[in-house]
Amino acid sequence: MPERTCIACKRKSDQGFFWRVARDLEGRVALWKGLGRSAYICPSADCLEKAMGKGRLERALKCPVGEENRRILREELICKLR
């Protein structure tokens, strides 16, 4: 199992541990299990907030992420924490 790295805290683990986000078929960055360049985030509030910081997702995914997209993704992930 290849190791992945959290874009917030740089912790390494196997892919199944993390939330995986990538561009979906509509071009929106979201939780996504399909193909494509992905970013990995620990399922924790701390890493979520850090990962939403300016530039982090963009650097990991090598694409721009709009503010609206970022807000929706953040809410989606916060829901999963509950």
Selected from 21, 22, 29, 47, the binder of Zn ion by CB under 5 A is: 47
Q: Does residue number 30 form part of the binding site for Zn ion (CB under 5 A)?
A: no
**Cα angle 19, 3, 53; round to 5:** 45
Q: Does residue number 8 form part of the binding site for Zn ion (CB under 5 A)?
A: yes
Q: 46 vs 66, which CB is nearer to Zn ion?
A: 46
Alpha carbons 26 and 23: distance in angstroms, whole number: 8
Q: Does residue number 6 form part of the binding site for Zn ion (CB under 5 A)?
A: yes
CB of 2 to Zn ion, least distance (A): 17
Q: 6 vs 29, which CB is nearer to Zn ion?
A: 6
* List of residues 6+ apart from 2 with CB closer than 8 A: 14, 15
Which residue carries 């850090």 as its tokens?
Answer: 50
